[in-house]
Amino acid sequence: MQIAIASGKGGTGKTTLAVNLAVLLSEKFSGTGQKVLLADLDVEEPNSGLFLKGDLIEEQVNYRMVPDWKEDKCTLCKRCANVCEFNALAFLGISVMIFPELCHSCYACSDLCPEDALPMEKRRMGVTRRYRLNESLEFMESRIDIGVEQATPLIEQTRKYIKENYDDQWMVLLDSPPGTSCPVMEAVKDADLVLLITEPTPFGFHDLKLAMDTMGELGKKYAVVINKYGIGNDEVLHYCEQKQIPVIGKLPHLTEAAVLYSKGKNMVDTLPAIRNEIEKIYSGILKLTEDRA
């Protein structure tokens, strides 16, 4: 089962929820054969690893394929000019120019070139690392290289890796990028349920609604978790009640939680009020996914 944790904007507690849920579940699953993988897909700023220290078990460099124009072979026939749907290739009359950051590695230009003047070549995107914390908990993070602008291809590769390598024995938690654009859509693609985390403030409510719209467009089942419950107002709760959107947890606003976060420590082992809510969130997940095909 895959559960994605997402939010309409950064800084609402995605990582707090992902890490604490992962730790609690790994304790629960210990000795049962069930396991937890927490995968940080916020590739531009993966920070779940600040809270989960383990042994590195695999490191893999990620590449994507981009055409490389070979001037000596090109006859300037212009065939490649119109095929790129992403404006990643421009025919300039006396040359062909590639914009790697816009390229979607579709191979169309390369396959169509009659002179083999656009061979696809590897471009480095980033690194994926896997860590084992104990017999029931693994952590994975993908980190984009500085200067690489497109996060989506790296998320796509990591998502595919998870799909191919983690079976039903694993509860996979995906710490998604914040926002509502392509990277988050890519990150939640395989999720059985998306947890949208928000804060009970007007800004939080605004961003939550955007995230809900995105999940609606994707046809994803989702539930809401409120972080820092106790500050702000009950607008989020009332809205969810009205729209019959499940709110499966309310993480209380505690000074101790902020202190633990700043020290890179989890909360489920020391703050009973947080543990209690994370337990409720897990029950909510099970309830909402029990009819999973």
Q: Which of 103, 140, 225, 271 binds ligand SF4 (CB under 6 A)?
A: 103
Q: Which of 1, 34, 47, 106 binds ligand SF4 (CB under 6 A)?
A: 106
Asked whether position 118 contacts ligand SF4 by CB under 6 A, the answer is yes
CB of 82 to ligand SF4, least distance (A): 10
How far apart (Å, rounded) are the C-alpha atoms in residues 25 and 277?
A: 13
Report whether 185 contacts 159 (CB < 8 A). no
CA distance to 123, 161, 284, per residue, from 62 (Å): 8, 11, 35
Asked whether position 109 contacts ligand SF4 by CB under 6 A, the answer is yes
Report whether 175 contacts 42 (CB < 8 A). yes
CB of 155 to ligand SF4, least distance (A): 18
CB of 108 to ligand SF4, least distance (A): 4
Cα torsion through 18, 265, 48, 11, rounded to 10: 70
Asked whether position 107 contacts ligand SF4 by CB under 6 A, the answer is yes
Q: Which burial class, exposed, middle or buried, applies to 87 when counting CB atoms under 10 A from its CB (0-12, 13-18, 19+)?
A: exposed
Nearer to ligand SF4, 59 or 71 (CB): 71
Asked whether position 134 contacts ligand SF4 by CB under 6 A, the answer is no
Helix axis angle for 202-218 and 235-243, nearest 10°, is 30
CA 115 from chain centre, in angstroms, equals 40
Number of residues counted as binding ligand SF4 (CB under 6 A): 25
Binding to ligand SF4 (CB under 6 A): which residues in 68-87? Answer: 74-80, 83-84, 86
Nearer to ligand SF4, 107 or 203 (CB): 107
Asked whether position 125 contacts ligand SF4 by CB under 6 A, the answer is no
Collapsed DSSP state (helix, strand, coil) of residue 88 = coil
Binding residues for ligand SF4, rule: CB under 6 A, are: 67, 74-80, 83-84, 86, 88-89, 96, 103-109, 113, 115, 117-118
